Amino acid sequence: MQKRLARIGAAVLSLTAAAAAPAQDYPSRLIRIVVAQAPASGPDLVGRTLAAKFTETWGQQAIVDNRAGANGIIGGDVVAKAKPDGYTLLVGASSAITMNPFVYKSLPHDPLRDLMPVSQTASNVMALVVAPTLPAPNVKTLVALAKSRPNEIVFASAGIGNLTHLSAELFAITAGVKLVHAPYKGSTPAWIDLMSGQVALMFTTTQGIAPHLERGKLKLLATCSEKRAIAFPQTPTLIESGYPGLVMTGWTGLFAPAGTPAEIVSKLSREVVRTLALPEIRERMAGQGSEAVSSAPEVFSAFVKAEAAKWQKVIRTAGLEHTQ
């Protein structure tokens, strides 16, 4: 009996050591970072920054694989169905992770179940901008105008079910106004019609809006973060405009396939934290309109769950649940 127990114990130790070995040796070959957006986008900048630092630190090549389309579903699906060994990772955005599961009737994967949070990577300030011709110099006036003209004020978005759309829905619910949604295929055509006055307003990230504000092509009424945006210190937040707790933030994060060993996830997270703390990286991202933000896996996981619960409620209240 003792010999049998000894053999069992040795087998268990052997299996444990074998399971730990991949994590200890990681990485030992090429790492692929899938970016679910197009080249030169904010998430792409994050992906390429991490790829360069992973390569430099570990001596193993890390590359970016852009898989844009379908509101992040295509890229996310590649990673969700990859082997959970840390060699296929995802830079995913808030819309794809915390909104898609509730907007779409069916998905090829469940981002909240099939992807494992590693670390947040960036935060992007959202802003409420309006057409230059709209007679609304501030949020209070805009709300009064919308209440006097229910179902007449049109807002643009970069597509159904993403952050630009649902931020406007959350604002309308909170302010008690009825707006009309005009979805576009991307931000660029939406901005063009907004600047020409074809639509009245839009919620968008602050990336790239400064030149349009300076030329009078857009009016910035409020930012949507907890504190005033560093780039626009004179602009009040929605909280300051009379809507406590109304915060909408765009973000990206690094994810691995569910089931990836915790030791590998922790190693990845530590390297992300180290990389995003570097002054030159923070400065470069700030120049692109993003704030470098990193977190431990458990912290990021809790954040993702909270964001998902928040947007599920908005989607349900707006009558958008599983409509696509």
Two tokens, residue 55: 């390569």
Q: Is residue 229 part of a domain?
A: no
Q: Is residue 18 part of a domain?
A: no
Give CA–CA dist 309/302, Å, rounded. 11
Q: Is residue 135 part of a domain?
A: yes
Residues 116 and 173 in one domain: no
- Taking the CA atoms of residue 298, residue 304, residue 306 and residue 311 in that order, the dihedral angle to the nearest 10 degrees is 180
Instruction: Say which amino acid occupies 185.
Output: K
Residue 8 has pLDDT above 50, yes or no: no
| Helix/strand/coil for 162 | coil
| Helix/strand/coil for 50 | helix
CATH number of the domain that residue 138 is part of: 3.40.190.10
Report which listed range, 22-36, 82-96, 207-221, is most confident: 82-96
Q: Is residue 241 part of a domain?
A: no
Residues 119 and 133 in one domain: no
CATH number of the domain that residue 54 is part of: 3.40.190.150
Two tokens, residue 183: 């979805």
Residues 118 and 152 in one domain: no
Residues 214 and 286 in one domain: no
Q: Is residue 44 part of a domain?
A: yes
Q: Are 274 and 150 in contact (CB under 8 A)?
A: no
Residue 160 has pLDDT above 70, yes or no: yes
Average pLDDT score over residue span 195-204: 96
pLDDT digits (tens, 9 = 90+) for 256-308: 999 999 999 999 999 999 999 999 999 998 888 889 999 999 999 999 999 99
Residues 167 and 106 in one domain: no
Q: Is residue 24 part of a domain?
A: no
Residue 11 has pLDDT above 60, yes or no: no
Give CA–CA dist 83/44, Å, rounded. 22
Strand stretches in 62-197, DSSP E: 62-66, 88-93, 115-130, 154-157, 180-183
Instruction: Please state the separation of Cα 82 from the chain's center in Å.
Output: 21
Residue 22 has pLDDT above 90, yes or no: no
Q: Is residue 322 part of a domain?
A: no
Residue 10: pLDDT band by 50, 70, 90 thresholds? very low
Domain that holds residue 209: 125-223
Residues 88 and 158 in one domain: no
Position 2 scores a pLDDT of 52
Q: How many structural domains are present in the chain?
A: 2
